[in-house]
Amino acid sequence: MPVSRSRCQGQLELWVDVLARAAGTLPMPPAVPFAPPRPSSWELRVVVLEAASVVGTERLLLSKDKSSDVYVKGWMSGLEREAQSTDVHYACLSGEALWTWRMVFRFEHVWPENRVVAEGAQGRHPPRLHLAVMDYDTFTKDDVLGTLSLDLSRLPRGASFAANCRAPGKEARPTVNLFLARHATGWWPALLAPDVTKARAKGLGVSPHGHRESKPCYFHRFFFFFFFSPDSQGKLKLELTLLPGTEAARDPAGVGHDGPQALPKPQRPVEAFSMLRHPVMGLYHFVWRRHRRMLLWGLLLFLLVVFLLVAVYSLPGYIVKKAIGA
Question: 286-317: per-residue pLDDT in tens?
Answer: 666 667 788 899 999 999 999 999 888 888 87
Among 61-65, 158-162, 184-188, 259-263, where is mean pLDDT lowest? 61-65
Q: Higher pLDDT residue, 82 or 19?
A: 82
Average pLDDT of the chain? 79
Q: Higher pLDDT residue, 241 or 137?
A: 241
pLDDT at 160: 94
pLDDT digits (tens, 9 = 90+) for 173-183: 899 999 999 99
Fold of 40-197+230-266: Immunoglobulin-like (2.60.40)
Contacts of 307 (CB under 8 A, 6+ apart): none
Contact (Cβ atoms closer than 8 angstroms) between residue 204 and residue 212: yes
Q: Higher pLDDT residue, 6 or 132?
A: 132
pLDDT at 231: 58
3-state secondary structure of 237: strand
pLDDT at 215: 44
Whether 201 has a pLDDT exceeding 60, the answer reads no
Contacts of 124 (CB under 8 A, 6+ apart): 78, 110, 113, 115, 116, 117, 118
Q: Higher pLDDT residue, 214 or 280?
A: 280
- d(Cα 291, Cα 63) in Å, to the nearest integer? 9
Q: What is the mean pLDDT of residues 249-276?
A: 82
Q: Higher pLDDT residue, 15 or 122?
A: 15
Q: What is the mean pLDDT of residues 275-287?
A: 61
pLDDT at 18: 75
- d(Cα 33, Cα 8) in Å, to the nearest integer? 28
pLDDT at 213: 39
pLDDT at 311: 86
Q: Higher pLDDT residue, 270 or 228?
A: 270
Whether 252 has a pLDDT exceeding 80, the answer reads yes
| Strands annotated E in 53-195 | 58-59, 66-76, 79-85, 89-92, 97-110, 115-117, 124-125, 128-135, 143-151, 155-156, 175-176, 183-191
3-state secondary structure of 307: helix
pLDDT at 133: 93
What's this model's pTM, rounded to 2 decimal places? 0.69
Q: Ranked by mean pLDDT, which of 129-138, 229-238, 248-257 comes out on top?
A: 248-257
What residue ranges do the domains of the chain occupy?
Answer: 40-197+230-266, 277-324
